[in-house]
Amino acid sequence: MAQTNMVQILVTILLLVLVAGEAATTPPGIAKKTWLCNLQECDRPGAVCQDPRFIGGDGITFYFHGKKDSNFCLVSDPNLHINAHFIGRRNHNMKRDFTWVQSIAILIDYHQIYVGAQKTATWEDSIDRLALSFDGEPITLHESEGAKWKSSTVPVVSIVRTADTNSVIVEVEGKLRITAKVVPITEEDSRIHRYGITREDCFAHLDLGFKFFSLSNKVSGVLGQTYKPDYVSRVDIGAQMPVMGGVKEFETTSLFSPDCSVARFVGNNGSNNEIEMVEDLKLPSMRCISGIDGEGVVCRR
């Protein structure tokens, strides 16, 4: 036990040193995402980050590339539907696009919530690039950590800033909680992955984390299907980059349209007595030597 704790402490110290080094060597005006932030926000079940990298409710990591300038259903349930709009660049050396999630639309009963990243050329952390709306009406949040907006509807929808700019928690009472952060593609990201990002557009996009409180056993969607009790992953988990197919299966005609071929959404509280609800989802818990722990976590070498 003492040896394990010592390893965890050494790993944490190493990460802090690497992050400090990155902060010291990155030129002013160049955006950066730290490893610690990625560990905290993007390595948990329900994460949708980067290009896009998913961690399912079963704890399995996979990629769903979709295609640029298109919309796909992430979650579809009788009273909840979530679509994502993908932006990207054509990868001429491969048979797919480089893609990122630019915005999401949440349909809950009769209501619509929009969370998006505004297009920007030059990134500055101090400039807010979040766009928010509820039932088509723009939401304005004071640019200070803790600023809160709350609906007068049932279920109650609340949005709270977790930083002065570009980061919020969206919660639908009794249904779900979403962490959303606007991030750019940095010059370093582009160089490493050969994205070909130019100074005209840094492809600001969303890093997302989903927590669901009440899903039916019929839930579907790129991410939603992984929360079904009987779900068996169809990706090759032994591959270096496990990819989820199904572009045609999950594509929708617009961001607010619940019309993918696997749609379950009916609205109006999703009244269907024949569908059992998966309340308070419980996933296997594990602690990795890296210090990452929690329900549904999968440790990797």
Share of the chain above pLDDT 90, in %: 59
> Residue 90 has what pLDDT?
77
Residue 155 pLDDT > 80:
yes
Residue 263 pLDDT > 50:
yes
Q: What is the mean pLDDT of residues 66-83?
A: 96
> Residue 98 has what pLDDT?
87
| Residue, of 300 and 100, whose pLDDT is higher | 100
Hey, what are 226's tokens? 């992984």
pLDDT per residue as tens digits for the range 161-179 = 999 999 999 999 999 999 9
pLDDT per residue as tens digits for the range 91-122 = 767 677 889 999 999 999 899 999 999 999 88
What is the DSSP annotation of the chain?
A: -HHHHHHHHHHHHHHHHHHHHHHHHSPTT-----HHHHHHHSSSTTEEETTTEEE-TTS-EEE----TTEEEEEEEETTEEEEEEEEEEE-TTSSSEEEEEEEEEEEETTEEEEEEEPP-SS--TTS--EEEEETTEE----SSTT-EEE-SSSS-EEEEESSSSSEEEEEETTTEEEEEEEEPPPHHHHHHHT----TT----EEEEEEEESEEETT-BSTTGGGGSTT----S-TTSSS-B---HHHHEESSTT---STT-----GGG--TTSPEEES----EEE-TTS-EEET-----
Task: Of 257, 216, 295, 280, give the one whose Cα is nearest residue 47.
Answer: 295
pLDDT band at 40 (very low <50, low <70, confident <90, very high): low
- The mean of the pLDDT values for the chain is 81
Q: Please tell me the pTM assigned to this model.
A: 0.77
> Residue 268 has what pLDDT?
60
